[in-house]
Every structure is written in C-alpha cells, then in structure tokens.
Amino acid sequence: MPKNPEYDRQFMSLLGIDIGTSGSKVMAVSADGRVYTFQYLMHETRHSDAGHMEIDSSRLWNNVQELILRAAAATKHDPVQALCVSSFGEACVPVTKDRKILADIILGTDCRGRSEIDDFLNKIPAEDFYRICPNIPGIQYTLPKILWIKKNNPELYRAADFFLLIGDFIGFMLGAEPYASTSLACRTLLFDLDAGNWSDRLLTLAGLPRGKFGRILSAGKCAGEVTPVLAEKLKLPGRIKILAGGHDQCLNALGSGAINAGSAVCGIGTYECITPVFSAVREKKDMFRQNLNIGCHVVPELFVSFIYNQAGSLVKWFRDTFAQKEKNEIPQDEIFSALSGEMPEGPSGLLVLPCFEPAGAPLYVSDAKGAITGLTTSTRRGDILKAIMESSTFYFYEALEKLSALDIKTENFTVTGGGSKSDSWLKIHADIFGMPFIRPEISEASVLGAALLAGTGLKIWASLKEASVLFCRTDRIFFPDREQHIKYQELFQKYKKLFPLLYQFLRKM
C-alpha cells in the first residue's frame, strides 16, 4: 500500500481512543514512533440491587470530548489528522439519527435479557447458530439487551433509530454515519462471519430490522469526518478522518504486536483475557465443542478467540483480604511488588478453583464459587497469592491446550494491562506455558492499537506491520525455567482432576 503524500508526516499526529468499562483513554502518536500524550478519565458503573449494571452514556460522551480537548492541546504543533476508537464489546447505545442519546449503556454483566436470549435460542439449533455466528450465546451479548428493551421499554425501542456498539457510537457522535466495526459486530449474536455482514436469518429470528444497525465497516476503513461544529469545539483542525476501529482485545493485540497467526496477547486487568491469533479454522464444529468463539481480528484475514476470567479481580480480593496494612501504607502500584517477596521460589503446592466471580470462555461459569485447597498451618499468605496466580494461569493453559489440539498453535505471547507490571506474575505465566512472555514498552496497547489503525487507514504507514515495528518495542522478555515448567506440569495434572470435582460440588452449595 503506497503512503499518502497528502499529509506532512513530520507535523501531524494520529489519535487513538479507548473506551473501557471503568474509564476512557486517548493517546496521540507521531508518524515516526513517538507518543505525544496519554490521558485517562474514569467513569462510574452504576450497580443496583436488582442486578442492573449501567454506564451513563452522556457522561461517557462528555468525558471523551474532554479527553480529545486535552489531546488537541498537547498536539497543537502536530495537529491530529485522523482518529480511531477501540472499546469493550457487546454493549450498545440507543440513539436517534440526529445524534440524540436516548438511554444509558446496559453492560453485558447486567442480569437483564435472560429470558429473551432463551426464547431466541429455542428458534435455532445451537450448531446452526454457531455456523453463522461462531459465539457461545449468553446473556452478556448485545442481542439479549436489545430484545429486553424491545419487550420492556417499547417506547425507547421505537424511538431509537440505531443501536450502536460503544466504539462506533463515539464515531457516530463525532460525525460519522452509523456504522458497526466488524470485530464489535461479531459480538452482537447477529453477525454472519463468513458473509462479513449482518445475518438476515438471525435478524429475522430476533424480529429486528437491519435498519436499526449501522453499515458494517472493516477495521481501518473511513467512516466519515468529525463535524465542523465539533472540530471547532474540540480545538481540532478541519476534516479529521474517523476510521473504523473495533473490539478492545483486538486493538490490544495490534498495539502489542500480535498481528501474525501463532501470536497471542495476554491482557491482565480486572479481567485477564488471552487472545490467540490464527489464520483459519478447519472445522467450526470443533471450536463449538470446546466452547470457544471465533471473531474477526482488526488485521485482515486473521481471526481471534477470547479466553478470559477475572484473575485480576481475584488478586485484588487477596490484597483487600490479606494485605490491609500494605494497602493503607504502600502506593497501590507497589503493593504486589512488595508482596511478591513473600512468594515461594517454586510452585506453591496449593490449588485454587479460580471462579470466585463469573468466568468466561471456555467454561462460562455463571454460578461462581471458588476454593483454595492444600492449606496447612504452615501456609503463609505468599503461598496463597502465588497459588491464585498459578491456578488462574492454569485456566488459560488448559484452554490453549485444547486449541493446540485443533492445530491452532500459539508460539509467542505479549502481555499488557496493569497486571503486566508484576514481574512475578509474568514469570509464573512463562514457567507454566513453557514459553517466553514479552512485556512491551507501551503497556496501554488498546489505545495505541487504535492510533495505529488510524494512521494505517490514512496510509501514513504502508501497513500495520510497519506501524507495529515502529511502536511495539520490547521492555523485557520473561523466559521460562525448564525445571519449574516440569514441576508445573505435575501440578497442572492435579488441577485438571480437581477442577471438575470441586466445581460440581460447589455448584450445589
């Protein structure tokens, strides 16, 4: 792809925006591999006793505008020429065609939509559904939330001209015509992966018109331009291109350099998500039997699967329960470095059922209960912390083992997110998997990936590979210890035997 001669690469910037469940970020980068600015604003998730979980859509939109203003101020000598948005998946925002926000965001973890998704799935055999839209259906996706709105708030449903996925909603509010980026559309339960478009069959079964969803756009395609009114308000130069982005885990992969088949990114935050990248699946039914999804990567002709649990949340529970003194006295980002000195040198010898909260693929644990086994009076808190990290990693190791049996091999890992700052945790990953784990210099990979997609879509770089080489530099590689790997193999075999026994027992409690 030839580079675009229209732009002065020396005096310009590209803007990435990332919307998470707890906050939003922006990052402006140069054409030659520098980061001009990184900004973050938190937003609140509202919880109710009824099991409802929402984010204020208008507050989120206002925060994004404030972040763009900050980025514009930091790049006034190298003005933004294009932007792209990464976001968490599944959730959507109902809007009118004149860009009026009609309701708040219902999160995937919200309890609403259970009966609606059950009714929908009664209309189509599970394997037939998977052949069209290779996801394991559940309450967390877009479809059940929209069906709940249609049934329980028909006035809102009728007033909504469009239901837009979060990142695409931001692009629409900035000035693009309604669109759905492919990697986010994959998570709606309404997308035909092979056709690369909305599924007429699934829409018909759901009783939803195609017109309530935006046109499908591949990652990096131009969705429109920032409106002149907003450009002036946000101190941006005129005619800023809006490029289609996608799912934050896919942008996380791009921003960490996982852009080839056989690579994977391990994002460690509240959730830990491993996203393996592959080129093709011989038989969808094999992935279906393993409870694993297939989705579009933001890199052309590549696919991903999402394997996740709440490992970060479990480690936070340990901190709040066993390290109150350190929590009160030590800066938050230094607590686990301090506690890691208490962990044993080798495997802990303990096993944890790491399902204290709901876990995702491939087990989809909703009735969450956990356990810590092997405790004695000589057990110390360092042993427990290491066991939590080990067993949470076993959860992923088992899933990757199943993928490997399907000839989807993972050859290297990059690690991002807040948990990537823990050397001890990354060493545990390397020793269990028997593979190197690479920590990049820039750990905020999702927002970086969005910026790289903006630049590649604008043809500032000839390819995503060129952009990746510029920005995805290595901070440190964590190599496995062969002796520890052998010991972990023994502990893993015990974990595989214990997990189903404990899980079935605890479900009855």
DSSP secondary structure string for all residues of 216-272: EE-TT-EEEE--HHHHHHTTPPS--EEEEEEEHHHHHHHHHT--STTEEEEEESSSE
The predicted-structure confidence for 152-167, as pLDDT tens digits, reads as follows 999 999 999 999 999 9
Q: What is the pLDDT of residue 416?
A: 95
Task: Please report which confidence band the pLDDT of residue 1 belongs to, taking 50, 70 and 90 as the band edges.
Answer: low
Query: Average model confidence (pLDDT) for the chain?
Result: 93
Task: Give me 433's structure tokens.
Answer: 């998997």
Task: Give me 23's structure tokens.
Answer: 């906050």
Q: What is the pLDDT of residue 38?
A: 97
5 has pLDDT over 60? no
The Cα angle at residue 455 between residues 453 and 460, in degrees rounded to 5: 140
The predicted-structure confidence for 246-292, as pLDDT tens digits, reads as follows 999 999 999 999 999 999 999 998 889 999 999 987 789 999 999 99
The predicted-structure confidence for 343-353, as pLDDT tens digits, reads as follows 999 999 999 99
4 has pLDDT over 60? no
The predicted-structure confidence for 371-397, as pLDDT tens digits, reads as follows 999 999 999 999 999 999 999 999 999
169 has pLDDT over 90? yes
Fold of 255-444+481-507: Nucleotidyltransferase; domain 5 (3.30.420)
Residue type for 222, please? C
Return the higher-pLDDT residue of 108 and 183: 183
6 has pLDDT over 70? no
Residue 4 · residue 71 · CB < 8 Å: no
What is the percentage of the chain residues whose pLDDT exceeds 90? 79
Q: What is the pLDDT of residue 8?
A: 60
Q: What is the pLDDT of residue 447?
A: 98
- Least confidently predicted of 23-27, 309-313, 482-486: 309-313
CA distance 102 to 139: 22
Q: What is the pLDDT of residue 358?
A: 74
Burial category of 317 from C-beta neighbours within 10 Å (exposed 0-12, middle 13-18, buried 19 and up): middle
**Helices 423-433/381-405 angle, 10° precision:** 40
For the chain, domain boundaries: 255-444+481-507
CA distance 365 to 380: 29
Write down the pTM of the prediction.
0.92
DSSP H helices, 38-141, are 57-74, 114-121, 126-132
334 has pLDDT over 80? no
Residue 108 · residue 117 · CB < 8 Å: no
462 has pLDDT over 70? yes
Verify cis geometry, omega within 30 degrees of 0, for the bond prior to 480.
no
Q: What is the torsional sign of CA 178, 183, 188, 189?
A: positive
Q: List beta partners, residue 416.
A: 267
Return the higher-pLDDT residue of 47 and 205: 205
3-state secondary structure of 484: helix
- The pLDDT of 120-124, averaged and rounded, is 97
Task: Give me 86's structure tokens.
Answer: 């990464």
- 3-class SS string, 111-160: CCCHHHHHHHHCCCCHHHHHHHCCCCCCCCCHHHHHHHHHHHCHHHHHHC
- Least confidently predicted of 176-185, 281-290, 316-325, 499-508: 499-508
Least Cα distance to 432 among 466, 467, 400, 469 occurs for 400
Q: Could you count the other beta carbons within 10 Å of the beta carbon of residue 328?
A: 7
Residue 413 · residue 260 · CB < 8 Å: no
DSSP secondary structure string for all residues of 400-436: HHHHHHTT----EEEEESGGGG-HHHHHHHHHHHTS-
